[in-house]
Amino acid sequence: MSETLEAQAAAMPKAEPKGGLVTYLNVDGAIAAAEFYVKAFGAEIASIMPPDEQGRTMHAHLYLNGSSLMISDFYPEHGHAKVPAQGFSLVIMTTDIDRQYAHALEAGCTAVMPPADMFWGDRYGELKDPYGVSWAMNQPIG
């Protein structure tokens, strides 16, 4: 955790969840993932717990596109073993998909499906982040 982020974390008030559905991710490297999501997707760090002696954090709270995204590291010694991300994707609703998709690639995401006009009437694309999480972007056409 950078000194700047640690100082910001210490000064942050309790963050309130936003959105009707809050996503909670478990990744290997939650602090680095939080910093990456700021860079790749324009997230804002609402609060973050200081890292333990192994560099893990038990809780980071981000605001992303009007909703909350929460993240923690795995803690196998407490019954929370590391497992790969699977069976879901996080969808960012956007009005500028091509720019946001390109920005996420520049930040370090991997292209899965570049944005294209879809049969259901939206423009849609998929990415994978360095932590194994699948992301999609969707923009209504018209």
Distance set, CA 20 to CA 53, 56, 68 (Å): 34, 28, 9
Of 41, 38, 73, whose CA–CA distance to 58 is shortest? 73
CB 127 within 8 A of CB 92: no
CA dist., res. 113 & res. 99, Å (int): 15
Identify the pLDDT of residue 85: 84
Q: Which two tokens stand for residue 117?
A: 């006009």
pLDDT tens per residue, the chain (142 residues)? 556 656 656 666 677 888 778 999 999 999 999 999 999 999 999 999 999 999 999 999 999 999 999 999 999 998 889 998 888 999 999 999 999 999 999 999 999 999 999 999 999 999 999 999 999 999 999 7
Q: Which two tokens stand for residue 119?
A: 């049969």
As a three-state string, the secondary structure of the chain is CCHHHHHHHHHCCCCCCCCCCCEEEECCCHHHHHHHHHHHHCCEEEEECCCCCCCCCCCEEEEECCEEEEEECCEHHHCECCCCCCCCCEEEECCCHHHHHHHHHHHCCEEEEEEEECCCCEEEEEEECCCCCEEEEEEECC
CA dist., res. 57 & res. 30, Å (int): 6
Provide the pairing of β-strand 67-72 with 23-26: parallel
pTM for this predicted structure: 0.85
Identify the pLDDT of residue 51: 93
